[in-house]
Structure 1
Amino acid sequence: MNHKKNYKSLQILVKEEKFIVEGPIQKEELASHEFDEGLVAFRPPKKQKEALLKVAELPESRIIIARENNKIIGYAIYLFPDPLERWSEVQLDNLLELGAIEVSANYRGYKLAKHLLKVSMMDDTMEDYIIITTEYYWHWDLKGTGLTVWQYRDVMEKVMKSGGLEWYATDDPEICSHPANCLMARIGKRVGPEAVHEFNRVRFKHKYMF
């Protein structure tokens, strides 16, 4: 499959602050920006930038950023599922996982996560893909936000729905290990029935779940 990437950009004005949400961006452009010091969910900002530069080299990867001038304050990454997860067992080249979405702790309250997802789906190429995200409560910033597990789950689900992702049932043991965990997905308009069947097959490995 030709992983076509049609650049999209959205300028937003929130609380008199101007931000640019754009992508998919190329490695060279990503390298030219600095990372905000509040991007610490996965690793220190400098290390996270290095990690994203490596991701940008993957042919299927799509990186959407939110920035203030030359400073990246949020990002969303799409790439093939982790080889260690069951979703990689699907023999599809049009299944991508929302591998990470992060907004700097210094820029919360601007709905940047929703805008990152909206810009992601503005590219018509996304209608050729099945996009999934696996949400695990132990990855959530409960301490930093002060939310309970269920409050965070509600916020997270609303954010994902802004990008067209919906809740899907699965018998994946890791997701089923806690009721707050979930699988969400968006099936593009041009995804064929064979691909949908493969996705459903890997969602359920035990027939009694149907």
Structure 2
Amino acid sequence: MANPNQKILVWPAGESNITIKSFCSPDDIALLSLKETFVESNNYNPILSKKESLVSASLQQDVNVTIAYTGEKKIIGISILQYPSPEERWVKIENRVMMEVSVVEVAAEWRSRGISKKLFELLFDHPLRERRIIYMVGYSWTWDVSGAGISVIEYRNMLINLFSNFGFRIFPTNDPNVLLCPENLFMARIGADISDNVKMKFKLLRFNMDN
């Protein structure tokens, strides 16, 4: 049975259509192919390249695995919204308030067609979005700068623009991984129903001042 929150968007793209589906289940994923979608090249190492990882994510509570695929059932884009792993500082805020955009990938030959934005339209159409702080961490060493043909700063600005369209803004943090490179990025969207108390906890936690 499909998730009641699942949405499907069919988007014309040349000679065929692209389907974008949110809250994908293991059964949905089983029908699709991820073979040779995200290929390692130069300094680019895809975050996700196995269907097993998608299935594992889709089984987690409240997770939204949103996938774009062709008429031939080939996956060309993935985005995942899930709770942070237990070792992350963000789990210290109670009641699973924090959710992370842990993956956003579009196959090289399908980039610059607005697919990331379409993925996000369904990814953030989440019933808990106003009761969650949704964040992303951008590490510049994971970006396919050479494939995009732009500089690191241009790639960073592209991400800022993409996420800003969905209510995200840049927040400072002393996270050591973020501080490793000046181009790295931490952005978040604070839901409308987040209390002032939780907002303060989030502010302190960004600098490990929660104790």
TM-score norm. by structure 1 comes to 0.86
**Is 1:37 the counterpart of 2:41 in the alignment?**
no
Distance 2:55 2:192 in 1: 30
Hey, which bits of structure 1, 4+ residues long, moved more than 3 A? 14-17
What corresponds to 1:150 in structure 2?
153
Distance 1:5 1:39 in 2: 29
The aligned length equals: 202
1:55-134 equivalence runs, <5 A: 55-69=57-71, 70-134=73-137
Distance 1:95 1:5 in 2: 22
Q: Deviations over 1:104-138 (max 9, x none)?
A: 11211211111111112233432221100011111
- Tell me the amino acid that sits aligned with residue 42 of structure 1: P
Segments of 5+ residues of structure 1 without an aligned counterpart are none
What corresponds to 1:51 in structure 2?
53
Tell me the secondary structure at the aligned position of residue 24 of structure 1: coil
What corresponds to 1:184 in structure 2?
187
What corresponds to 1:195 in structure 2?
198
Distance 2:52 2:79 in 1: 15
Tell me the secondary structure at the aligned position of residue 20 of structure 1: strand
> Contact 2:81–2:123 at 8 Å: present in 1 too?
no
- Tell me the amino acid that sits aligned with residue 132 of structure 1: Y
- Tell me the amino acid that sits aligned with residue 73 of structure 1: I
Distance 1:198 1:97 in 2: 17
What corresponds to 2:27 in structure 1?
28
Distance 1:140 1:7 in 2: 29
Tell me the secondary structure at the aligned position of residue 163 of structure 1: coil
- Tell me the amino acid that sits aligned with residue 64 of structure 1: T
Segments of 5+ residues of structure 2 without an aligned counterpart are 40-44
- Tell me the amino acid that sits aligned with residue 140 of structure 1: W
Tell me the secondary structure at the aligned position of residue 128 of structure 2: helix
> Contact 2:47–2:103 at 8 Å: present in 1 too?
no
Distance 1:43 1:157 in 2: 19
Distance 1:107 1:181 in 2: 25
TM-score norm. by structure 2 comes to 0.85
Distance 2:109 2:186 in 1: 28
> Contact 1:95–1:132 at 8 Å: present in 2 too?
yes
Tell me the secondary structure at the aligned position of residue 131 of structure 1: strand
Alignment RMSD (CA, Å): 2.2
Structure with the higher fraction of residues in helix conformation: 1
* CA deviation after TM superposition for structure 1 residue 171, in Å: 1.9
Q: Deviations over 1:30-68 (max 9, x none)?
A: 1221125232343684xx211111111211321011111
